[in-house]
Amino acid sequence: MDLNMVDKSIAVLRETFSTGKTRSLAWRKTQLRALIKLVRDNEEEIFKALHQDLGKHPVEAYRDEVGVVLKSADYSLNRVQKWMAPRKGDIPLLFFPANGEVMPEPFGVVLIFVSWNFPISLALDPLIGAISAGNTVIVKPSEIAQNCSSFLANTIPKYLDTEAIKVIEGGVDVSEQLLQQKWDKIFFTGSQRVGRIVLTAAAKHLTPVTLELGGKCPAILDAKSISSDMKVVAKRIAGGKWGPCCGQACISIDYVLVEDNYSEYLIDSLRRIIRKFYGEKPEESISLSRIVNRNNFDRLSRLMSDPLVANSIVHGGSTNEEKLFIEPTLLLNPPLDSEIMTEEIFGPLLPIITLKNIQESIGFIKSRPKPLVIYAFTQNETFKKQILTETSSGGVVFNDTMIHFICDDLPFGGVGQSGLGRYHGKYSFETFSHEKAVLHRRFFPEIEPRYPPWNSFKLQFLKAAYSFNYFGILLMLLGLKKEN
C-alpha cells in the first residue's frame, strides 16, 4: 500500500467518528449483522485461504475461526444495547439529592494488529468488540498469512461501512508507519518482542493498548488423582498441543509437568493418541496444519538441533523442509536452560519435565514468567486451590485445554509478559470503551462545611461524612452536638 494512504485512511475515519454515526445502536447492529453475513457468505473462501496459508482442514478452520466469529458476533448483537446503557453509580447520601452513572463511550479511531496463526478470528473477533463499542477501525492483517490478508482486504469493504472500517495490508514498513500515527486505542495480538515495540510507540501519544501475547503455557499432570481418566487426559493434552494450528498458538500447551513414575505411561499414551489423530505417517495427514513459513520451520528445527535437546527426543523429530512439516514430537527432560525451555515454542514440540512430587510444579511455574494460561489435570481440590492462590497467570483451566477461549462470559488475556488487558464478549466491549463517570446534582441543599473558613465543627462534620455517620451529621446540623 502507498504509505500516503495511511494518513488519508485515518483522516476519513476521524471525520466519520466526529459525525457521531458510529455511536448509534442502529449503526452498531447493522455492522454486526453485516459481519455475520460476510462470514456465512464466504465460508468456503475462508476455508480455502486458511488452507493455503496454514494447511488448516475445514473442520479445524470452522472450530477455531469461523465458528468463533459467528458465535461472538451473535452474542454481541443480542447484548450490545444493554452494554451501551449507562449503569447506575451509588452516590453518598451526603450529596442528596444527586445521582451518578457510568456511561460507556467509544475511544474513537482504533488500530487492530492481527496475528498470522488465526488470521480470520483474530481479525474479526476484536473487530466485533470495536464495532460494538462504537469506534471506527483500521484492521492490519499479518502479511505472513497472505491469502487471509487478501481475503479480508477484498471482502470487508463489500459488507462493512467503508467510511468507518478499513483494512490496510502490508509488511513491516506499513506497520511502522501505522505506529507513528496517533490512535485512540491499539489492540495487538502477537509476540512479546513486537508487543514491546507497539507499547513503546503507543507511549509517545499515551495511547491505551491491549496486548494479547503468549508465553510458555504449562500443563500440570497430577496423575495420582486422575489415573482412571488417563486416556481422556492424554487426548486433551494432545488436542491442546497439536490441535490448534500444529502448536502455533499462544494458548497451546508448551510443556507438561508430571511425576517421574508416571512419565513413561504419559509418553506411551501420547504416542497412541498421536497415531490415532494423525495416523502412522503424520506427514501425509490432512488433519495436521503445517508450519507457516520457512523462518518458523528453521527456528523450530534449530530448537531440536542442540545435541542435548536432540538426545531427549522420545517420539517424532522428523522434518520435511519442502513441505514445511515437523512431526509431533515428544521430548523427555530437555535441559531447563536450553532455548526450547526458555523461549515460547510455538510449534509441534512438547517437552515433558519430570518432578519427584507434583507439588513441585507450583514452584517451577512461579520461577518463570507468568503464562497466558495454566492447564492442570487433577481431582485434588486442595491442589486446585494451591494452583489458584500460589500462581499467577492469565487464566487457569482444570481438566481440559483451550475451551476457555470460546467462553464469552470469561475474560481472555494475559498478565505480566503474557499480555495486558482482556477481551471476549462484554470484555471486548469494555476493552474498546471508555467508562465515563457522570454525576448530576441540584443546587439545594448546599453543604457549607465543605467551604472555608475552617473551624472544629467543620472538621467533625467532615469526619462524620467520610465515615458515613449520617446520624452524627444530622445531630450536628440540628445543633444538638456542641463544638469541642
Q: Which of 9, 4, 1 is nearest to 136 (CA)?
A: 9
The DSSP bridge pattern shows strands 136-140 and 165-167 to be parallel
| Annotated catalytic residue 45 | no
Contacts of 140 (CB under 8 A, 6+ apart): 111, 112, 113, 114, 167, 168, 169, 170, 174, 175, 178
Residue 115 three-state SS = coil
By three-state DSSP, how is residue 155 classified?
helix
Answer yes or no: are the C-beta atoms of 135 and 17 closer than 8 Å. Answer: yes
Active site residue 148: no
CA contacts within 13 A on the Cβ side of 96: 5
**For residue 459, what is its C-alpha cell?**
472538621
| Active-site entry in 60, 65, 212, 430 | 212
**Identity (one letter) of the amino acid at 126?**
P
Q: In angstroms, what CA-CA distances link 10 with 109, 128, 139, 140?
A: 8, 19, 11, 13
**Which listed residue (250, 259, 327, 430) is catalytic?**
250
Q: What's the first-to-final CA gap in the chain, in angstroms?
A: 76
Residue 111: which of 212, 192, 10 has the closest Cα? 10
- The dihedral formed by the CA atoms of 127, 133, 136 and 137, expressed in degrees to the nearest 10: -20
Distance CA 84, CA 443 (A): 29
Catalytic residues: 212, 250
